[in-house]
Amino acid sequence: MRISTIAISLVSLASVSAFTTSPLVAQRAVVTPYNVLSMAENDVVSDFKEKQSMTRMEGKNEKIDVTMKFGGSSLADADRIHHVTALIKDQIAAGYRPRAVICSAMGKTTNSLLSAGDFALEGRVNIDAIRTLHNAALDEFDLNDDVRAEVTALLDECEDLLNGVKLIQELSPKSLDQLVSYGERCSVRIVAARLNQIGVPAQAFDSWDIGMLTDSNFGDAKLLPEAEEAIRKSFNERLDPDVVAVVTGFIGHDPNGKITTLGRGGSDLSATAIGAFCELDEIQVWKDVDGILSTDPRVVKKAVPVEDVSYDEASELAYFGAQVLHPIAMQPAMKFDVPVRVKNSYNPSAKGTVISKRDGPAPRLVTAITCKRGIQLLDIESTQMLGAYGFLANVFKDLEQNKLSVDVLASSEVSVSLTFDKKQKEENIHQAVEKLSEYANVKVKQDRAILTLITDVERSSEVLATAFRVFDKENIKVEMMSQGASKVNISFVLKNEQIEDAIKHLHQCFFEDVCVV
């Protein structure tokens, strides 16, 4: 089996000599969309969008139906909840109708609950700081006794669970999911009560009450197919469209009624699932930055917001390290073609970034630059590869047996290079290297980083020409290059210590018009 996508010959530059590794070709698997639509299903979604647009133009429905999701930093304390609820009221005044507001736990509550679980295993139970945070919000808004009783009961239940953990000295994945759920469950009750207090009709819901059904993979549960219809029925047939449903993000129920968590990106997935399954006009994700930025502002102070990106571009950005929606959260929006708007709850007037389907070319040569640090690079060389069948199959079999997930892959006639995230177990990597060494020469390189340019690969010649001029001038050694199978990214593997210089100079060329090459 041989993988072939691009070759260095795309760049007709003398400076390509800076690329010291033998020419490699590469690809990475495309993120599979959630329940990829058939052609017939696509027609149904397209018909819906067309009819919806006609209805708007005819003036039959002036309200823009949305979901709004707020993360922990946006709900950090009573002051932030005051700002968020005022923001929701302003959005309603501007013509939006929030069918659902999805809330994370307040501030760092999830981390505090995880720590409380660890302490309980050591024989200590103390959630005073968590109680203080929530009681401060209850007191600040002078919320009624019913809400106070609900929140207090949930925190008492949380403490009882921790005492049970202390007693039996065990915290199973199932119990851990129940433990962390208390943050979201308290948060939605406070937010809903505050909305009612300022004149916005609202009702708090645990997500399973509106159909968020999952499998039983505690800690990383997946939505069940029947969740789609259950959520749609809840919003279309049962809930009042003019009463804001304030819903817990991140959590769901399995078929046995046990609480589950949706894993990384779970709160965003809660928002996109509701917005997409109910085929709303827009999914709003409110964060603490002005949308998606051209690169990490901690590296480049002149990083600028990107006004629009495609679903594929956003997925690749998230995969390669940008703080955007997790690719899993993107999948329902992609399926139903519902745009996602990323906004800043600290700066609501900023335009933010719209993630949607794009039919034409991107407005810029490069949409954004991102990086993933702490990567391990594995170089595998063997003359057995030349003209052989099944060599790569054997490589991936050994990786699978050691539960290793590959970020980027590059292959030539007699070598293959792979990258692994540093979060993967060192023991697993060591065992895989031992197995691979039985039939190939294997080198492991630590402290590498993946630099990714989000770009249309049909314009890769121009992008690569500029990139390699920068690398040549700044003496930056590229150890591996990969073009993603999604056709929207080009990635380079560099040493960790060179990544920031590379990003700064590439950003100057592609975004600041001060390119020095």
- Residue range 174-192, pLDDT digits in tens: 999 999 999 999 999 999 9
Confidence of residue 61 (pLDDT cuts 50, 70, 90): low
Kindly state whether residue 133 falls inside one of the protein's structural domains: no
Residue 46: predicted pLDDT: 44
- Where is pLDDT greater, at 394 or 257? 257
- Where is pLDDT greater, at 91 or 513? 91
Label residues 469-488 b or e (16+ Cβ within 10 Å = b): bbbbebebebbbbbbbbbbb
Rounded CA gap, 182 and 158, in Å?
7
Kindly state whether residue 160 falls inside one of the protein's structural domains: no
Task: Domain of residue 343: give its range.
Answer: 39-108+184-356
Q: Do residues 223 and 277 both lie within one domain?
A: yes
- Where is pLDDT greater, at 91 or 264? 91
CB atoms closer than 10 angstroms to residue 44? 13
Q: Do residues 86 and 18 both lie within one domain?
A: no
End-to-end CA distance of the chain: 39
343 has pLDDT over 50:
yes
Where is the domain boundary, 310, 336, 356?
A: 356
Residue 20: predicted pLDDT: 34
Q: Do residues 302 and 388 both lie within one domain?
A: no
Confidence of residue 299 (pLDDT cuts 50, 70, 90): very high
Q: Do residues 320 and 351 both lie within one domain?
A: yes
- In terms of average pLDDT, the best of 10-14, 40-44, 208-212, 287-291 is 208-212
Confidence of residue 414 (pLDDT cuts 50, 70, 90): confident
CATH number of the domain encompassing residue 291:
3.40.1160.10
Output the average pLDDT for the chain. Answer: 87
- Where is pLDDT greater, at 172 or 456? 172
Residue 392: predicted pLDDT: 83
Rounded CA gap, 242 and 106, in Å?
25
Where is the domain boundary, 309, 324, 356?
A: 356
Share of the chain above pLDDT 90, in %: 69
Q: Do residues 320 and 347 both lie within one domain?
A: yes
Q: Do residues 340 and 401 both lie within one domain?
A: no
Give the H/E segment covering residue 223: none
Residue 192: predicted pLDDT: 99
Where is the domain boundary, 321, 356, 391?
A: 356
Confidence of residue 65 (pLDDT cuts 50, 70, 90): very high
Lay out the sheet containing 441-455: strands in order across. 25-27, 406-411, 415-421, 366-381, 441-455, 489-495, 480-483
pTM, rounded to two decimals: 0.82
Kindly state whether residue 122 falls inside one of the protein's structural domains: no
Residue 319: predicted pLDDT: 80
For the chain, how many structural domains are there in total?
Answer: 2
Kindly state whether residue 130 falls inside one of the protein's structural domains: no
Of residues 292, 272, 291, 290, the one with CA closest to residue 282: 272
Kindly state whether residue 412 falls inside one of the protein's structural domains: yes
Q: Do residues 328 and 400 both lie within one domain?
A: no
388 has pLDDT over 80:
no
Of residues 275, 274, 251, 272, the one with CA closest to residue 262: 251
